Amino acid sequence: MSPAESDTQRMADDKQARIEAVRAQLRQRWLSKPRDPGSRGSGPPNRHGLPKLPPGQHVTDRWPVLDPGRQPRVSLADFRLTVDGAVEEPVTLGWSDLLALPQVERAGDFHCVTSWSKMDLRFKGVQLATLLSLARPLPQATHVMTHADDGYTTNLPLREALEDDVLLAHTVDGAPLPVEHGGPVRIVTPQLYAWKGAKWIRRIEVLTQDRPGFWEERGYSNTAQPWRDDRYS
């Protein structure tokens, strides 16, 4: 390895160490809090130790497409993702920047509030916790608002955003995420109803207090926990 390559690798290692340090602090603050009790459902325990199928849901082999009415097409050359708001260091990433971050693959279920569930999808992408750690949320941060290219928004408490299987997913079952399902990148939130995962993601805004998004303003639950049948406010 040349001296220049050694310096590049050293800087990459230092950056990753800083991300991991911030991530550990965020996890200690938020993920040490237990999940709400009172879950219901059926089937063997899933990856969160909850019943595999939430109450009121049925399993489908299809993956229906639901959106507010517009499917933006974002080229990889034009892709930009910003993390800003209540953070120490706002960041904007292009496609190559996103792929340069640690990539993970997770099995996840997809629970739609309209009562269908598609099970055991394999998503690949960047953990949302990694993006947040890169920008370093301020101590007073409590939530994130995710913004899509079509104007859609939805909110997440940091307690949910930091879960290991909450991803900015660009691949599903070994293939690029289709446009109709939010490609090139969408957020997936397997522990919540799927509307909490914005398609065509372009901005992650860190908040110091909660703020409702598109469906939350229209009567959907602010917390959206499938195993509590938590669909509407």
Read off the pLDDT of residues 188-207 as tens digits, 9 standing for 90 and up: 999 999 999 999 999 999 99
Contact indicator for 109, 118 with CB cutoff of 8 Å: yes
Do 167 and 104 contact (CB within 8 A), yes or no?
yes
CATH of the domain at 224: 3.90.420.10
50 versus 172: the higher-pLDDT residue is 172
* 137 inside domain: yes
Residue 1 has pLDDT above 90, yes or no: no
Indicate whether 172 belongs to any domain: yes
Extended beta strands in the chain, E state:
42-45, 51-53, 58-59, 81-85, 91-93, 104-111, 116-127, 143-148, 153-157, 167-172, 175-176, 186-188, 201-207
Question: Domain of 25?
Answer: 3-228
Query: What is the count of structural domains for the chain?
Result: 1
Mean confidence (pLDDT) of the chain: 92
Mean pLDDT (whole number) for 81-100: 97
Q: What is the reported pLDDT for 39?
A: 83
Q: What percent of the chain has pLDDT over 70?
A: 92
Residue 7 has pLDDT above 80, yes or no: no
97 in any annotated domain: yes
What pLDDT score does 27 carry? 87
Per-range mean pLDDT, top range of 14-23, 24-33, 120-129: 120-129
In a domain, 34, yes or no: yes
pLDDT at 161 over 70: yes
Instruction: Identify the residue with better confidence: 126 or 68.
Output: 126
Predicted local confidence at residue 214, as pLDDT = 96
- Tell me the pLDDT tens digit for each residue of 37-48: 678 899 988 877
What is the average pLDDT across 158-165?
Answer: 94
Q: Does a structural domain hold residue 233? A: no
Tokens matching residue 219: 């009567």
Looking at residue 18, what is its pLDDT? 86
At residue 116, the pLDDT reads 96
